[in-house]
Amino acid sequence: MEHHNWKVAEAKAQFSKLLRSAEKAPQIIENRGQEVAVVLSMDEYRSLQGSRESAQPAARLAEFLDFSRQLRSEKGLELEPPARSNRPFDPLET
């Protein structure tokens, strides 16, 4: 069985069927036309967790930087470091 998109009311009414289907393929839950959640098997979940935990730190950093770049572009956010007030400033130190 392949994945199925479920409306919230349908998922609630047929919860047992949703769980059985999730054992075979991820099941997507929609609320008001928006995909809001995924129900998947424990094996699939553990596999995803294991691959994430075993990822090299550089891969996790790259994932964070990609997410940060996306967030800044979508929200128009820009991070500014705080001013260095804990040590003297030497303009020739660059």
What is the pLDDT at residue 50? 77
Residue 39 bridge partners (DSSP) = 27
Token pair for residue 57? 């730190």
List pLDDT tens digits, range 37-69.
Answer: 999 999 999 888 877 666 666 677 788 888 888
List pLDDT tens digits, range 6-38.
Answer: 999 999 999 999 999 999 999 999 999 999 999
Answer whether 16's CB lies under 8 Å from 39's CB: no
Taking alpha carbons only, the member of 13, 41, 14 closest to residue 27 is 41
Domain residue limits, the chain: 5-75
Q: Look up the CATH number of domain 5-75.
A: 3.40.1620.10
Q: What is the mean pLDDT of the chain?
A: 82
